Structure 1
Amino acid sequence: MPREPDAAHLVRRPLLRALLATRPAFLLLAAVGVGIGLAVAVATGERPLDAPLAALTLLGALTFHAAVNVDNDYHDARNGTDADNADRLFPFTGGSRMIQNGALSPEQTQRLAWLLYAATGLIGLALLTRAGLSLLWLGLAGALLGWAYSAPPLALNSRGLGEVTVGLGFGMLMPMGADLVQRGMLSTGAAWAGAGYALMTVNLLLLNEFPDADADRQAGKRHLVVRLGRSRARWIYLGTAVLAYSTPVLLVATDRLPTTALLSLAALPLTVYALRRLWQDAERPERLAPPIRATIAATLLFGTLTAVGLLLD
């Protein structure tokens, strides 16, 4: 696995420090969510893809996801969960380690988060000229969920609501927003298209909580793995996976998605592998890196193939 950030190596590299603090590998989740929405817009055939608007939409999604990641690091530094996390599996869990390893101070981290939030807001204002007030309300809902995921007093990730928040953000709001910017109207089609991906992202966050559970419990973060314990939380992963892969089948059967959307089912072997490893090693967090990798790959593949399936229709 990659090494944690080295403050001495990064001291004269402020841009690299800022980039690493965003946890850039995970930003692919936002890119796939936007891709699903763009695929929905193109598949309708109402108008050709507006490439500059699509690029601006993608940039806004990436800066927002980056802001939420950095903000989460700041709040996890304040409540102590990352500092006390001896079971972390970097780079998957335990935060970016920028604060804990001395590469950024908490104050610098908070300023970076607000800078990224501000950049997202400016991009959103530019997109409003095309999408209108519907995008404003959708954006405000996403901003509230993203901020409230970590920040008190809501701190949704500490109340057993973080998983649902992540699913709504990546699988619903981002596809709907990308489609809205292209077509100028809200569509339930983008929500249906992103539903399976939403469930996949729920499982990704859930699995990442397994190694962090002991430190999170000590810090007062009561997410689902802390509430249920690792052994019982395995069943949530199983149930969510079943729902995720059943979703495109049901939506195709009810004519809400084209048959080609079933391409997303090709990610199933990765999820089965992750589930088998989780079932064996749920109580041994040091062994969970392989199922986490497989779940990340399955999630990205599921969402990407959903978008490809829509474009092939």
Structure 2
Amino acid sequence: MNETVPPGATAAQWLAGARPRTLPAAVSPVLVGSAVAYFAGGFSWPRALLALVVSLALQVGVNYANDYSDGIRGTDADRVGPMRLVGSGVASPGTVKAAAFGCFGVAAVAGLVLVVWSGQWWLLAVGAASIVAAWFYTGGRRPYGYLGLGELFVFVFFGLVAVCGTTLVQLGRVTLPALLGAIGIGTITCAVLVANNLRDIAGDTVAGKRTLATRIGAARTRWLYVALLLVSVLMVIVLAATSSRWALLGLLFVPVIAPAVRAVLGKAAGADLIGVLKATGVAELVLAAGLAVGLVLGSG
């Protein structure tokens, strides 16, 4: 592949490439998993912080990995969303790939410390699977993100694994509230990806990127977005019923997400969905914070 080596991205461009708006997907599960541990009397600040490092490093790593893989395939040539480092030509593919694996390395080290500290040695396999899933979302010969499986893996790793794993390394076990919180966080995180793929549906179709949105069409994708949010609402209610009514504070995300739902059902498309993405990420963080505050208050 012949290419002109770019002079190097600026710090601001690297920050943009890390896609800060996706970080609620990394912070929220750790917040909920730690709050569940607090409610059950097993909260640990150091372990919670290490879990946060793992989650953030994986999220930024997968963002850089997607930037690299989509960039070298040319599927970022006509994007509506944020700038990509490789696709825009401000950073070389090799440099972005190295940044991705650097982040995965940070996640691996922090995760190893957590495993040794908690004694949950089987989590080594889970951690390895998380890194493999992060890379092959758009990497490799048959990336699963191009097969319509992105939402499934997001639900598993940024929902079930992240929330339940955070609780496990602190409390030593996974409780029913942890599982319910994991489902709630997992579905709203999927809603973020669904909104992203709905925004990109036209460009992805042209590029041959077969996301779930391109497979089921825009109309069904819009209803999938709403259905995922309804599951999150239901999980908050059931979690409150099985722990503390204070957990209903998690429903504060509903008024935050309402304008985004109206926009999606109102057939917003392209750049008009950028606001929906931002609102969904903020709503996820509000949901997680509400649950966390509620579980802390309910533990007294």
TM norm structure 1: 0.85
Shift of 1:17: 4.7
Pairing 1:220–2:208 present: yes
Aligned 8 A contact 1:79 1:219 in 2: no
Q: 1:140 aligns with which of 128, 140, 143?
A: 128
Q: Distance in 1 between matches of 2:234 and 2:295?
A: 17
Counterpart mapping for 1:58-137 below 5 A: 58-85=52-79, 88-90=80-82, 96-132=83-119, 133-137=121-125
Q: Distance in 1 between matches of 2:174 and 2:221?
A: 35
Code of the residue aligned with 1:28 in structure 2: it is P
Aligned 8 A contact 1:271 1:295 in 2: yes
Counterpart mapping for 1:147-226 below 5 A: 147-226=135-214
Q: Distance in 2 between matches of 1:305 and 1:136?
A: 31
TM norm structure 2: 0.89
Code of the residue aligned with 2:97 in structure 1: it is Q
What SS is found at the alignment partner of 1:281?
A: coil
What SS is found at the alignment partner of 2:210?
A: coil
Pairwise CA RMSD: 2.1
Q: 2:225 aligns with which of 227, 234, 237?
A: 237
Distance 1:263 1:230, change over 3 A: same
Q: Distance in 2 between matches of 1:299 and 1:189?
A: 17
More displaced stretch, 297-306 vs 201-210: 297-306
Q: Distance in 2 between matches of 1:162 and 1:263?
A: 29
Code of the residue aligned with 2:132 in structure 1: it is L
Q: Distance in 2 between matches of 1:119 and 1:173?
A: 18
Distance 1:129 1:312, change over 3 A: same
Pairing 1:26–2:22 present: yes
Distance 1:123 1:298, change over 3 A: same
Shift of 1:198: 1.1
Aligned-residue sequence identity (percent) comes to: 32
Aligned 8 A contact 1:281 1:287 in 2: no
What SS is found at the alignment partner of 1:99?
A: helix
Shift of 1:180: 1.9
Code of the residue aligned with 2:37 in structure 1: it is A
Q: Distance in 1 between matches of 2:258 and 2:246?
A: 22
Unaligned runs of 5+ in 2: 1-5
1:272 aligns with 258
